[in-house]
Chain A
């Protein structure tokens, strides 16, 4: 009798639902804020300036080797084809030319979709997909998205998880055998 009276005093099962609600709020709103740190790219690169302004396309800088392997992000050598000296007056270009190009330091770009080292991924094998199926749509943007780094795993928030690879493979009928992605 005593216990029943106490429950009534605290609003019956209300505390339980408050706990559930608080947990949902923490889990869906606070937790994501806590688990990711935010980082900005070392150079404020504008894809739009290059795509719209200079008429370049993705393949102008993000190229494939003859054997089909992705050539990686463009290096200083590639950028220097145009930016050996300042072309414009933007602060971003000045930072790039003076802090990286002239000092011979490659820009430590933060890559949104780096996979773990034990994953083999061929861009050439995924040519039929749009770049934006996996990558942020930065082609028409003046700014680069904020990079969210998982404080526990160290990977980008946008790094594709294995279940996503497997689901897509299953949907398009590609094998999900281990060795397809893990060499």
Chain B
């Protein structure tokens, strides 16, 4: 039997028919379709053991205690640490994407030196430290030649920086402006020492004056957790919240009562309340009580207060009565956007708390002790917090203060976030040698002469002590969750190394030993801290505080009125003073704040009509320091003659997720000097609109 053409065709046909009853065709097609999803350039998940480790996030405005989940040693998710009092299990909107921020395209992947305008060259850590050491050696012992600024108010790293500056003979060590600055100056003016805190957990009536507790004031996440615990869904409400401010922000929206007041008039509002409390017989056994009473009863009468801030005497009396009749009320003052409020607001709010007998009481305002210093030569924390960096830079810009030869910037972005931004940036540009210890390529790093990247808090030892606003002194710490992803080095280790090379002994050889010593001095157990527990002290400062009536009489003046007041606000979704919009938050940005690349500012219909502007109209906002371009959005949650605008936009550095979107309204904030304290303030800014 031979094989001819017909036989072959029959054989093949049989083969084809037979193959239809085998998995060959179907499985090959199926596998090929799967294979097309496995091409080598498609990102693959990492596999390995999933682990959890307690850590701290310092991405947001206030430190956040977290549990970080890792797979095969790589962090991929974070969640709140409910065992830690510092943030009570909450995670803020920036820290929520902390593990993703580790992989941000804005990360600086190694030390770099500037070789031209906007051009950088990678160098080794040895060369970078040598370069820094040489510049520092040239200014050692010379006053005014070295300046240091830190954006981390709570970390012991700032102690190392201030201790180093002191040993170098410099008194120019600063923290970036924050709510804590005004509070520190206020407490000092009132004759107190330590740090102001508020026991919101145990209060039954909280009056926030300006302080946007849900988005920018104090320990934001902790505030949110305390709020939710006091108002459980379907459960008994244990705490009432009132908010006095110019804009229906998240705090106002969450409060039982919103009292609209003009921006920057928190002190007048508080002193207006004091009038009614004094009238009803409230007093305090403090040395300057009589001076305070005279001041309030003469200058803050209901008619004058109503004229200044628009709240009627009857309304003020009603609020004062509710405060008096509450069993654990507390008044908290601050800025609507986390900085620039000055000391008068805090002093005035403290005065109300004093009249209510709420100082160092459960659920009241607390005077907390500073934890012991780990670095002997460091500036006392209260003293450091009170120092005025904005005023220092403004002095340099105006030529009234000598420009330092070297400025070191740690975890801060002053080129972007200070008021009158362009003037402040020009002052920084005058510094011959600017060093940035930044994790990300922010606006300040982008202009620095030397960049020495600091790892994220997931990649190094870190700690956080008593964030401003919490009701008890506390300390948290963390160990690295993972090895540094890039060629970064903890700033503490850089400073210790450089100091050692220059013959300066700060007392420690490594960051780990420093943070351990801090814990030991505070009386905390280091092992417990890095396992996620917070050390909490129940002690408060003894001794009374006074009303600082003489400061109030100078610092508080009635607004002239008739202008459009500017009310910036800060939302963590849009980033913070140190962080740009995280990539994962871009989709959460409101279309009423950013539409395309246009920033939206908000006015109510009456103000819009007065300005002759309609919804979507393009406007130019002008302040003392510069101009901004924006579109109008009509929002009835804004007071008359007030224009509300979001901070966090208009970045020129960072990455595609945040750069070139909207405008930076910090440019048009106007810095003025608070009479009586000399502190730079910028909550009372006015704008002209064209």
Contact = CB atoms under 8 A, between A and B. Distances in A.
Interface in B1-44: 1-4, 6-8, 10-19, 21-24, 27-28, 30-32, 34-35, 37-38, 44
Interface string A126-152: 000000000000000000000000101
Nearest to B23: A27
Nearest to B8: A15
A117 B15 contact: no
Interface in A63-95: 65-67, 69-75, 77-78
Contact of B22 (A19, A23, A66, A73): A23
B14 A9 contact: no
Contacts of B7: 10, 15
Contacts of A106: 48-49, 72
B50 A15 contact: no
A58 interface: no
Contacts of A22: 11, 14-15, 18
A26 B22 CA distance: 8
B28 A152 contact: yes
Given A6-B6, A9-B1, A9-B2, A24 B11 contact: no
Contacts of B34: 116, 152-155
A179 interface: no
Given A3-B6, A13-B10, A19 B48 contact: no
B28 A114 contact: no
Interface residues of A, number: 47
Nearest to A111: B47
Contacts of A3: 6
A167 B676 CA distance: 77
B10 A19 contact: yes
B38 A153 contact: yes
Contacts of B12: 19
Given A9-B2, A10-B7, A31-B24, A20 B49 contact: no
A104 to B, nearest CB: 11
B47 A72 contact: yes
A27 B19 contact: yes
A168 interface: no
A100 B69 CA distance: 24
Contact of B18 (A10, A27, A71, A114): A27
B14 A17 contact: yes
B167 interface: no
A56 interface: no
A35 B27 CA distance: 10
A90 B44 CA distance: 35
A75 B21 contact: no
B52 A65 contact: yes
Given A18-B14, A22-B18, A71-B50, A28 B6 contact: no
B2 A24 contact: no
Nearest to A116: B37
A19 B18 contact: yes
Contact of B10 (A9, A16, A31, A71): A16
B31 A152 contact: yes
A21 B8 CA distance: 15
Given A9-B2, A117-B44, A65 B50 contact: yes
Given A27-B22, A116-B34, A155-B34, A72 B71 contact: yes
A24 to B, nearest CB: 5
Interface residues of B, number: 42
A78 B49 contact: yes
A16 B11 contact: yes
B4 A10 contact: yes
Contacts of B14: 15-23
A154 to B, nearest CB: 5
A150 B18 contact: no
A173 interface: no
A11 interface: yes
B45 interface: yes
Contacts of A40: none
Contacts of A77: 49
A175 interface: no
Contacts of A28: 22-23
A53 B70 CA distance: 32
B35 A152 contact: yes
A9 B47 CA distance: 63
A7 interface: yes
B482 to A, nearest CB: 14
A174 to B, nearest CB: 24
Given A6-B4, A78-B49, A19 B15 contact: yes
A115 to B, nearest CB: 10
B28 to A, nearest CB: 7
A18 B11 contact: yes
B614 to A, nearest CB: 42
A133 B18 CA distance: 33
Candidate in A7, A32, A69, A152 with the most chain B CB atoms within 10 angstroms: A152
Nearest to B37: A116
Interface string B530-545: 0000000000000000
B48 A75 contact: yes
Contact of A15 (B10, B22, B69): B10
B32 A70 contact: no
Contacts of B16: 19, 23
Interface string B594-638: 000000000000000000000000000000000000000000000
A77 B17 CA distance: 56
A58 B12 CA distance: 52
B488 to A, nearest CB: 22
Contacts of A27: 18-19, 21-24
Given A24-B18, A116-B37, A10 B49 contact: no
B17 A20 contact: yes
Contacts of B32: 152-153
B257 to A, nearest CB: 38
Nearest to A15: B10
Contacts of B49: 71-75, 77-78, 106
Contacts of A6: 4, 6
Contacts of A111: 47
Contacts of A32: 23
Contacts of B71: 72
A96 B16 CA distance: 49
Nearest to B4: A6
Interface in A1-55: 3, 6-7, 9-11, 13, 15-24, 26-28, 31-32, 35
B44 A10 contact: no
Interface in A148-177: 150, 152-155, 161
A108 to B, nearest CB: 9
A161 B635 CA distance: 53
A15 B45 contact: no
Contacts of A15: 3, 7-8, 10-11, 14
Contacts of B24: 26-27, 31
B222 to A, nearest CB: 22
A75 B72 CA distance: 8
Candidate in A27, A106, A118 with the most chain B CB atoms within 10 angstroms: A27
Nearest to A74: B49
Nearest to B19: A23
State the 7 A-B residue pairs at the shortest beta-carbon distance, nearest first: A27-B22, A19-B14, A23-B18, A20-B18, A75-B49, A152-B31, A16-B14
10 contacts: A10-B7, A11-B1, A18-B14, A20-B21, A24-B21, A75-B48, A77-B49, A117-B45, A150-B31, A153-B34
Given A11-B1, A26-B24, A154-B38, 9 more contacts: A9-B4, A10-B4, A20-B15, A23-B17, A65-B52, A72-B72, A78-B49, A153-B30, A155-B34
